[in-house]
């Protein structure tokens, strides 16, 4: 069974020209054509400050007040999305830059967080997967900025949440394809006893966090994988750029996190 990859890229890597060059080469080699979902990272904070705002966070999540929302739209749906689409197109990839607002691709409700008001931060509730299948079937790579559509306008969405929602919607369409969220990080996978684990269940990941085997900077990475499983995706994978290049060439790499026991 073919694997359709929803590749999630963090905002901190996107301003690295070498990273983008390797990413575009890997994407160009993938069949079927993957989907990219990207963040904006520090660039959002820089534009917010330039607009006179002050970046604020609640439980690690960016508070999207009016100024932050304007910055997110400029960076995510503007500069970063265009940068990636340009790089892919110049590398010969038929890429289509879009946001979750375009054609009502990702619909959200306001995310209510127990630790405080996040402003215009949304939680995905529906994805128009038919829009994406039209592009995928034509060999087009969707490049998605996670600015999404609420009933009263646009909302900022965590890129992990957007990727999970997209993958879950595609996986539930009855097509004979495995859908996986592939997180491109700065580590080759999840290490236990100094060895990269090829596969872990969500329960094994939770246990390894509890026991301290997974610690430090790896915790947010595996929690992002668990979040996309909770959103309905069948599996998530953690790789570095070398691992993504291997996947593009049909070589297994990184750590695949699945919801429960059994090979996907």
Computed over its alpha carbons, how large is the radius of gyration of the chain? 17
Which of the two residues, 216 and 129, has the higher pLDDT score? Answer: 129
Tens of pLDDT, residues 201-238: 999 999 999 999 999 888 888 988 888 888 777 899 99
Average pLDDT, the chain: 92
Instruction: Encode pLDDT of 177-205 as tens digits.
Output: 889 999 998 899 999 988 999 999 999 99
Identify the CATH assignment for 3-258 out of 1.10.150.120, 3.20.20.70, 3.40.1160.10, 3.30.70.100: 3.40.1160.10
Q: How far apart are CA 133 and CA 33, in angstroms?
A: 10
Distance CA 181, CA 187 (A): 16
* Nearest by Cα to 255 from 227, 229, 225: 225
pLDDT digits (tens, 9 = 90+) for 137-151: 999 999 999 999 999
Which pLDDT score is estimated for 2? 80
What pLDDT does 151 receive? 97
Give the residue among 97, 22, 25, 113 at the shortest CA–CA distance from 64.
113
Question: Would you list the domain boundaries of the chain?
Answer: 3-258
């Amino acid at each position: 069974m073919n694997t359709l990859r929803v590749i999630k890229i963090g905002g901190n890597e996107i301003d690295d020209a070498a990273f983008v060059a390797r990413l575009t080469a890997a994407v160009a080699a993938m069949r079927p054509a993957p989907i990219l979902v990207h963040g904006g990272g520090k660039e959002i904070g820089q534009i917010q400050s330039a607009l006179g705002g002050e970046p604020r966070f609640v439980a690690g999540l960016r508070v999207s007040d009016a100024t932050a929302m304007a910055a997110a739209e400029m960076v995510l749906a503007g500069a970063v999305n265009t940068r990636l689409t340009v790089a892919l197109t110049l590398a010969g990839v038929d890429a289509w830059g879009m946001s979750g607002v375009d054609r009502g691709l990702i619909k959200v409700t306001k995310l209510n967080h127990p630790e405080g008001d996040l402003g215009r931060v949304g939680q995905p509730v529906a994805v128009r997967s038919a829009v994406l299948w039209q592009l995928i079937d034509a060999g087009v790579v969707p490049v998605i900025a996670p600015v999404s559509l609420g009933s009263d306008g646009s909302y900022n969405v965590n890129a992990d949440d957007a990727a999970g929602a997209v993958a879950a919607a595609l996986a539930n369409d009855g097509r004979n394809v495995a859908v996986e969220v592939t997180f491109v990080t700065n580590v080759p996978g999840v290490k236990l006893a100094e060895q990269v684990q090829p596969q872990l269940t969500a329960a094994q990941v939770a246990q390894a966090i509890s026991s301290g085997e997974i610690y430090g900077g790896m915790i947010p990475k595996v929690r992002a994988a668990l979040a996309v499983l909770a959103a309905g995706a069948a599996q998530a994978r953690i790789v570095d750029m070398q691992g993504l290049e291997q996947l593009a060439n049909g070589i297994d790499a990184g750590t695949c996190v699945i919801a429960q026991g059994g090979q996907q």
